[in-house]
Amino acid sequence: MTNGLQDQWNHCWINGEKHCLPTALDVTNPATGEMVGRVPLGGEREARLAVDAAAQAFPQWAQLPAQTRAGYLMEWAERIVRDRDVLAELLTAEQGKPLDEARDELEGAAAFIRWYAEEGKRAYGEVIPASRHQQRIMVLRQPVGVAALITPWNYPAAMVARKMAPALAAGCTAVLKPARQTPLIAVALFDRLMETGLPAGAANLVTGAADAIGGTWLSDSRVRKISFTGSTEVGKQLMRRAADQVKRLSLELGGNAPVIVFPDADLERAAEAIVANKFENAGQMCNGINVIYAHQEIADALTERIVARVRHLRVGAGTEPCVQVGPLIDENAVHRAEQLVADAREKGARVLTGGYRLTAGAYARGHFFAPTVLDGVTRAMAVTREEIFGPIAPIVRFASEEEVLRWANETPYGLAAYVFTRDLGRSWRMSEALEFGMVAVNGTSLSVPQAPFGGIKESGVGREGGHHGLAEFMDVKYVALTLP
Ligand code: ADP
């Protein structure tokens, strides 16, 4: 790309204005190592200016009718859909995923925004029968105030939408910091949000130094809510630091998702759904399958079906036609994948396909790892205990429902779990007994605007999606009114 294009996104948005800085953060393409663009390297000062703007804009934004707020959101969604293909190219350039996945992500982002535009109109209160004569008990729902939103690099467009839409629909004003690896799509999405004529300060974007920006927002008492998606490690730090001001928190952190395949399952369907989930975004998905638990009676048959599909996955730059698996986000991610495979091998696992980094020809400049299936995996291997976040599918064999349930729950994480069975009783038993915030039976896709996405245990607190997601940005106020 030319220098002119590289500078196209070199601004933040504070108080309705483009904000440029002399220092910049370079963004590189994980498939080629080339520079895609740069954004301002913001810090404390920009973070504070953004909160100034959001705090000032809050009372007016909160008082607008929900219909009016919805109007801005609808226009934003329209612009995202209008420019979907251009935005998808940018997303793929900085993040790596195949163009089809990038387009789907943008459609999903627009769907999320539209859904919350509508849901904001339904932030109903309550009237509760009182216990005294002439008294009325009412419950109001009010926006919490300024919300700080911190987003990750794996779904850099969807995550902006999933946080901004409920925040703005609820009547909060927002300050957002995207991940260092993928800030360009956030800038491009904000460019389109600003085109809608959104009141100045209602939404602000600060790119740059995570610690400085996050730290400023955590210590500013005007910020009443933190919504974060990212690693459990950083989530815990934010939770500790948010305690000082008892800020409200939503955390969507790491996972260790099991998929459990029982002997009565439709194996074709299971294999197809497992491969689709496991290798989406090259395995870099928080609710992505971490371990495949296959019942010993069908383990060979399932493994065969999975391997056949994985061998056909086409790996390459996301911009190339028919590519299904793009690069990993950076060198660290490739190194980690290598280590996980080495550890599993040492402890006795067999590599059925893949298992190595791709370095030949066009792969040489990017961070590519071959789609991998491991058999003979045991619970002693790191690949079952840690979040893989890469294109590695380990298969563990189990003998009984009790055993596999114990193994699946034996993790500090609790985001998503998947079960394949045709037995209705078992579907219910497993759905109730699995200690995860989300359970999918006979399928592996979960993320839709109307459902509460989120985890329990160390996978986080709070929900994104559904009316639950709107409630995350609203306080409940009890008003006791005695008639005069
Ligand atoms: P990942 O492992 O997915 O890169 P991180 O937790 O490191 O996840 O990052 C997720 C988001 O949190 C990114 O936007 C990152 O810049 C931000 N982040 C990382 N460290 C901090 C911090 N100390 N304070 C605030 N935000 C942070």
Instruction: Convert the pLDDT of each residue in 101-123 to its tens digit.
Output: 999 999 999 999 999 999 999 99
| Mean pLDDT of the region 271-275 | 98
- DSSP assignment letter at 57: H
Residue nearest to atom 13 of ligand 1 (CA): 179
Q: How far apart are CA 230 and CA 459, in angstroms?
A: 10
Q: Is residue 378 in contact with ligand 1, taking CB distance under 6 Å? A: no
Q: Is residue 460 in contact with ligand 1, taking CB distance under 6 Å? A: no
Pocket test for ligand 1, best of 94, 213, 234 (most atoms within 8 A of CB): 234
Using alpha carbons, select from 9, 48, 15 the residue that is nearest to residue 212.
48
So what's the pLDDT on residue 2?
44
Whether ipTM exceeds 0.85: yes
Ligand 1 atom with least separation from CA of 177: 14
Q: How far apart are CA 233 and CA 88, in angstroms?
A: 30
So what's the pLDDT on residue 6?
76
pLDDT tens-digit profile of 188-202?
Answer: 999 999 999 999 999
Q: Is residue 231 in contact with ligand 1, taking CB distance under 6 Å? A: yes
Q: Return the ∠ at Cα 274 (arms to 301 and 449), rounded to 5°.
A: 155
pLDDT tens-digit profile of 328-339?
Answer: 999 999 999 999
Residue 3, pLDDT above cutoff 70: no
Alpha helices of 356-410 — where are they, by DSSP H? Answer: 382-385, 401-409
C-alpha 461 – ligand 1 centre gap (Å)? 17
| Mean pLDDT of the region 253-282 | 98
pLDDT tens-digit profile of 123-178?
Answer: 999 999 999 999 999 999 999 999 999 999 999 999 999 999 999 999 999 999 99
C-alpha 135 – ligand 1 centre gap (Å)? 49
C-alpha 179 – ligand 1 centre gap (Å)? 7
Rounded to a whole number of angstroms, the CA Rg of the chain reads: 23
Confidence band for 37, pLDDT divided at 50, 70 and 90: very high
Q: Is residue 219 in contact with ligand 1, taking CB distance under 6 Å? A: no
Q: How far apart are CA 422 and CA 117, in angstroms?
A: 38
Q: Is residue 176 in contact with ligand 1, taking CB distance under 6 Å? A: no
pLDDT tens-digit profile of 373-420?
Answer: 999 999 999 999 999 999 999 999 999 999 999 999 999 999 999 999
Whole-number Cα distances in Å, 468 to 10, 113, 318: 35, 15, 34
Pocket test for ligand 1, best of 27, 39, 149, 150 (most atoms within 8 A of CB): 150
Residue nearest to atom 10 of ligand 1 (CA): 230
Question: Quick check: pTM over 0.95?
Answer: yes
Residue nearest to atom 23 of ligand 1 (CA): 211
Q: What percent of the chain has pLDDT over 70?
A: 99
Q: Is residue 152 in contact with ligand 1, taking CB distance under 6 Å? A: yes
- For residue 263, give every residue at least 6 positions away whose Cβ sits within 8 Å of its Cβ, in sequence order, or none: 295, 297, 298
C-alpha 175 – ligand 1 centre gap (Å)? 15
C-alpha 37 – ligand 1 centre gap (Å)? 20
The tokens for 150 are 């911190």
pLDDT tens-digit profile of 38-84?
Answer: 999 999 999 999 999 999 999 999 999 999 999 999 999 999 999 99
State the greatest distance between any 2 C-alpha atoms of the chain, in Å, as a whole number.
82
Q: Is residue 210 in contact with ligand 1, taking CB distance under 6 Å? A: yes
So what's the pLDDT on residue 47?
98
Helix or strand (DSSP H, E) at 195:
helix 184-195
pLDDT tens-digit profile of 455-466?
Answer: 999 999 999 999
Q: How far apart are CA 464 and CA 141, in angstroms?
A: 18
Q: How far apart are CA 184 and CA 189, in angstroms?
A: 9
Confidence band for 7, pLDDT divided at 50, 70 and 90: confident
* Contact criterion met (CB below 8 Å) for 421 and 313: no
- Other Cβ atoms less than 10 A from the Cβ of 461: the count is 18
- For residue 185, give every residue at least 6 positions away whose Cβ sits within 8 Å of its Cβ, in sequence order, or none: 87, 90, 91, 94, 95, 156, 157, 160, 178
Number of helices (H), then strands (E), in the chain: 16, 22
Residue 1, pLDDT above cutoff 60: no
Q: How far apart are CA 25 and CA 469, in angstroms?
A: 32
Confidence band for 355, pLDDT divided at 50, 70 and 90: very high
Mean pLDDT of the chain: 97
Q: Is residue 427 in contact with ligand 1, taking CB distance under 6 Å? A: no
Residue nearest to atom 15 of ligand 1 (CA): 179
Q: How far apart are CA 472 and CA 8, in angstroms?
A: 34
In which region does residue 348 sit, left (phi positive, over 0), alpha (psi from -120 to 50) or beta (all else)? left
Question: Strand ranges (DSSP E) for 121-212?
Answer: 126-128, 135-143, 146-150, 173-177, 203-205
C-alpha 460 – ligand 1 centre gap (Å)? 15
The tokens for 155 are 């779904």
CB burial readout 273-284, b (16+ within 10 A) else e: bbbebbbbbbbb
Helix or strand (DSSP H, E) at 84:
helix 84-95
Ligand 1 atom with least separation from CA of 231: 6
Q: How far apart are CA 39 and CA 26, in angstroms?
A: 7
Helix or strand (DSSP H, E) at 397:
strand 392-398
Q: How far apart are CA 251 and CA 185, in angstroms?
A: 22
So what's the pLDDT on residue 368?
98
| Mean pLDDT of the region 350-374 | 97
Residue nearest to atom 11 of ligand 1 (CA): 152
Instruction: Write out the catalytic residue numbers.
Output: 252
C-alpha 207 – ligand 1 centre gap (Å)? 12
Q: Is residue 405 in contact with ligand 1, taking CB distance under 6 Å? A: no
Q: How far apart are CA 102 and CA 83, in angstroms?
A: 12
Ligand 1 atom with least separation from CA of 153: 3
* Contact criterion met (CB below 8 Å) for 374 and 397: no
Q: Is residue 234 in contact with ligand 1, taking CB distance under 6 Å? A: yes
